[in-house]
Structures are given as C-alpha cells and as structure tokens.
Amino acid sequence: MTGPDNAKLVGFKDLLLTKCGLGFENEREAALIRGLRQRMSNRRIEDFDDYHGLLTGDIDEFNRLVELLTINETYFFREPDHLKLLVERLIPDILEERKSDRIRIVSAGCSTGEEPYSISMLLHERYGTDFGRLFSITGVDIDTSAIDRAKHGVYGKNSFRAVDTDRLGLYFEPFGRNEYRLKEEIRQVVTFEVINLLGTVYPASMQMPDVILYRNVSIYFPGHVQHAIFSRLACLLTEGGYLLVGAAETIHHDLGILSLVEKDGLFFYRKLPNLFIENRRNRSSAAGVSGLPAAGAGQPATPTARGQQRAVRHGHASLAHARERRSSPDAHALFDDALGLAQDNRPDAALELLDTLIRRDDSFVKAYLLKGTILLNSSRFDEARENCNKALAKNPLCLEASLMLGIIARHEENDDEALRRFREAIYLDSACWPAHFYTAEIAYARGDMKRACSAYESALRILEGDPSGDRGQTFFPLAFKTDQFVAICRHKLALIRVQGK
C-alpha cells in the first residue's frame, strides 16, 4: 500500500490536531503514515478517503489509531528529582496549611500508570499505611489500552529500569512469566480515567487538585495546543497548587499563566494570586487610595446610600492624597526607588527602602500597600496583614488593603474571613472584579454553584466589558494577569452549566 498524497495527509493531520491536539509535522509525519497503513490493513481498507470517513464517524477506530500513534515510553520513578521534590518538599507544605480534605494529585498523560503508582509508593514510604486517608491520585490519558493496563497494574521488565530490588520485593508480586503486579495497598489510592486533554470539559476527578504532573506529554503537541492545554490545567488547580512538567519542557510553558518557582535547584509552576508590581510611578490611580466602608459593610445599600458611601470614600481618598502630597520630595523619591526595585525583582532591597520611608513619614499609605504586596508575594502573610492594617489605620477606606486581606485569608484557608473582606470590597465598588472572582472560587469549592455562577458572571462581565483594554479597575500596587482570570471564569461557568443539566 502506498502512502497518501500530500492533500490527503493534511486531512488526517488536521483531524488529529482538531480532535486531540496531536501534531505530526516534520519527522513525526513518517510515524503517522505507518500508523495509517497499519490500521487500514487491519480494517482491510484500501482507499485513504474511505478510512478518513471512517475516522470521522467511528470513535472507537479513531481511538485505536491514537493508541498506535502515541508512544507510551515510561517507567517507574522516571525523573526522580521532581518526584522527590513533590513528596519531600511540596506535599509537606500543603499538609502544613491544610485543615481538612485529602490532598488531590493528578497525573495528566499518565500512559500505563507508572508515574501515579511511583507517587503512591513514595507517599506510602513517607506516611505509612494510613497514607490512603491523606491522598487521592488520579491518572488520565487518551489511550484506552494504556489506561486498561494501568488499572490492572501488571508490568514487564522495561518498567523496572529504575526500581531497586528492595522496592520490587516490597511493592510487587510475581504475576505470570517475567511480569509483576503491584500490591493492592498501592493500587487502591490511584484511580484512572480515559481523558482527552483537548476535550471541552474535564471530569470531576480532575477538578481542584493540589498538584498536577504534566511531564513529558506536551512533546506530542504543537505550540498553540501546548498553550491551550497548559491554560486549562492551570484553571483546574486549587489556589496555591503546583504544576510540574518535564525537566526539558519547563521553559516552553513559561507563558505568564502560572508563576515559575525554583526550589532546590528545580523549577516548577505554582498558582499564586498573580499579583505583580505594576509601574505606576507616573500615573495616578483612582484605586490607590480607595478602601473599606467605616460601617455597615456587606449590607444592601440603596442607590442614594451607595452614592453617599462613595462620596465619603472619595473624601478619605482626597485626604490621603493631600497627606502624600505634603510628604517631602525625598519621601516620594524613596517610594519611586522602592517601586523600581520591586519591579526589578529585588524585594529585599525594596523592603529596606520602604522601611526607611515609613520611619521618615508614617502617613505614606502607598508605602504600606507596596510593602504588603511584596510580603504577600513572598508568602509572609502575617507581615503582609500587619501592613494592610496599618494602611487601614491611616486610611480607613483603603480598598487595596481590604482586597489584600481577603487574599491573605484565602491563602490561609480562612474562607469566612476572606468572604467578609471581599464583600466589603464589592460594597465599596461593584467593579472590583477580583473580589467577585475570589468569592466565586470559594462558593465553587463549597459546592454553592448558584452563588459561584453569579459571581463568575459578574467578574467576567467586568473583565470583558471594558473597552480601554485595562480590563476594568486597577488596584495599585496590585496588578493581575487578567487573561488567566477570563479563561478561568469561562471554564468554570462551562463546568457549572454541564453539571446543571
């Protein structure tokens, strides 16, 4: 059988790219041709157009071709440094912060299951026989036959190239000729599902994980598909969660969607609040001196009462601006220098200058806000909270301080306090989309889909409704990578609608 002509081959490429994101350009084209020939021979089909038509209407045949084209090259304890980082550093940090619920781990593109089972073994070694109470692990892959093998937990010698004899004897038992089966205590913590990562909706088992491993999978995808899948996986993560990719893939996913973090010489991604210090030294910020209501926060307000409340808030804003204008030129210069250092990723030097500024002029509200943001980005939550409260003491209606206090409470899993702060921010200004967004996230995690839907819709309406390109209000010195928030709102609303059917 000869190969398809170029036009027909393009049709197969487009079909595979559209339905599951697989790309077959350059050197991978030969693998596609071999796969097509094999499946057509198996089905006794001679004409490439006929086989293309079969693929578009027969999902089982499409899956058989995909299984043939994806190389399931994996083994236990592959790239062990990242697994060690996960089990010895990241998971203990999560456990220290976690008040309840099991830690959820997703292995995306798990192939025949060696990766999630490796994690299960390492967790058993660290946390003992009760580890199943603390953790749940989900492995997903598009390859049905690979998932079937993973569920059975039976492996041959190629899977054991990095397994020492002690682990082999401890966790496996002979099963047939030259094969071993994982023991039940390791297998019972791991579940598997067949999932197309380019699919429209991910199942409940993948929602809100603390950790996603997406290692050595994106090599199959062209750049725009890599971006799309990485964005979707980022949306799934719980706030503060981690996403680990293969050592050779790290730089390709530094898209500004998640924060790139280094620990012990290894790089990984984390879902942080996406706060960064934006350059506003030569811009006025209406939000820079806004804030909390003095009383009655969270209570329904008539239009007249809301107008009066805003007038009071802007009166406080004018007073705060006036105090800062009376500050010495030296104080403003120190602040500008500190802001520049923060933007240049020199937080310690910025904090030192801000401390000098505050000692000279303790009425400079923006100095407390900038200091609080730097500390929050460094996970120094107690110190960040202290500076937010100092900002509120100087300006009782400081919206940014309220917003930051809500984010701090969210990090500490004090959702009731976080909701109180976010309600205050919304009461002050209904255009405060981050407060709507984080309110939605809390409601979604609690299963309150009606409230989550309303809050996501409010955030999305504000973000998409601003023709200026600023995506709504800005919050000095907090700035948000808003494209990610738009994507998350759309994704969560789609999930809620599917669940409601």
Select from 1.10.20.140, 1.10.10.10, 3.90.180.10, 1.25.40.10 the CATH code of 277-500.
1.25.40.10
Equal CATH topology for 80-272 and 277-500: no
- Sequence spans of domains, the chain: 6-69, 80-272, 277-500
Query: What pLDDT score does 250 carry?
Result: 62
pLDDT at 217: 80
Q: Enumerate residues 6+ apart whose C-beta is below 8 A from 113.
A: 139, 146, 147, 149, 150, 151, 153, 190, 192
**Residue among 181, 78, 214, 191 at smallest CA distance from 132:** 191
Three-state DSSP at 73 gives coil
CA distance 334 to 351: 11
pLDDT tens readout for residues 441-475: 889 878 899 999 999 999 999 988 754 434 444 57
User: What is the model's pLDDT at position 376?
Assistant: 83
What DSSP letter does each residue of 112-169 carry, written as one string?
TTHHHHHHHHHHHHHHGGGHHHHEEEEEEES-HHHHHHHHHTEE-GGGGTT--HHHHH
pLDDT score, position 474: 57
Please identify every stretch of the chain with a pLDDT value under 70, giving residue numbers as ranges: 1-3, 21, 26-27, 71-73, 99-100, 200, 219-220, 247-256, 273-329, 466-474, 476, 481, 484, 501
Element (H, E) at 202: none
- The sheet carrying 180-182 orders its strands as 154-155, 180-182, 172-174
pTM for the full predicted model: 0.55
pLDDT in tens, 205-226: 888 899 999 987 876 677 777 7
Strand pairing class (103-108; 135-141): parallel
User: Residue 252: its pLDDT value, please?
Assistant: 56
Residue 104 belongs to what H/E stretch? strand 103-108
Query: Which phi and psi (to 5°) does residue 145 adopt?
Result: -65, -35
Q: What is the 3-state secondary structure (H, E, C) of 253-267?
A: HCCCCCEEEEECCEE
CATH of the domain spanning 80-272: 3.40.50.150
Tokens standing for 72?
């399931």
**CATH of the domain spanning 6-69, picked from 1.10.3470, 1.10.260, 2.60.40, 1.10.155:** 1.10.155
Alpha-carbon gap, residue 146 to 72, rounded angstroms: 8
Residue 340, judged by CB atoms within 10 A of its CB (0-12, 13-18, 19+), counts as middle
Identify the pLDDT of residue 285.
Answer: 33
